[in-house]
């Protein structure tokens, strides 16, 4: 049980490291990718107040991660 948790933590850490490296290396090319500025994201601006809730971005990322986890589990069996 503990060994499985350790393997999972190492895999998650390696994934985060890989994602961070990719974002760092592609800092100029991902600038025009509309993640975080999709239609459906809520932005309310006032003189002294700004509220931003990335609703569409959250839904899109949730669907994408769900598909990746489903594929990972189906291939692991």
Give residue-wise pLDDT tens across range 38-75. Answer: 888 899 999 999 999 989 989 988 998 899 888 888 87
- pLDDT of 7 higher than 90: no
DSSP H or E segment with residue 42:
strand 42-45
Q: Do 28 and 42 belong to one domain? A: no
> In angstroms, rounded to a whole number, what is the distance separating the alpha carbons of residues 57 and 38?
6
| Spatial CA neighbour of 57 closest among 32, 26, 34, 23 | 34
Domain of residue 20: give its range.
Answer: 1-32
Q: Do 28 and 41 belong to one domain? A: no
**pTM for the whole thing?**
0.57
Q: Do 44 and 75 belong to one domain? A: yes
pLDDT digits (tens, 9 = 90+) for 24-39: 777 666 667 666 678 8
């Amino acid at each position: 049980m503990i060994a499985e948790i350790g393997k999972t933590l190492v895999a998650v850490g390696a994934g985060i490291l890989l994602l961070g490296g990719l974002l760092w290396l592609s800092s100029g090319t991902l600038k025009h990718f509309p993640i975080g500025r999709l239609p459906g994201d809520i932005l309310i601006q006032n003189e002294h107040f700004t509220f931003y809730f990335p609703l569409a971005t959250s839904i899109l990322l949730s669907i994408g991660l769900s598909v990746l986890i489903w594929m990972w589990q189906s291939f692991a069996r």
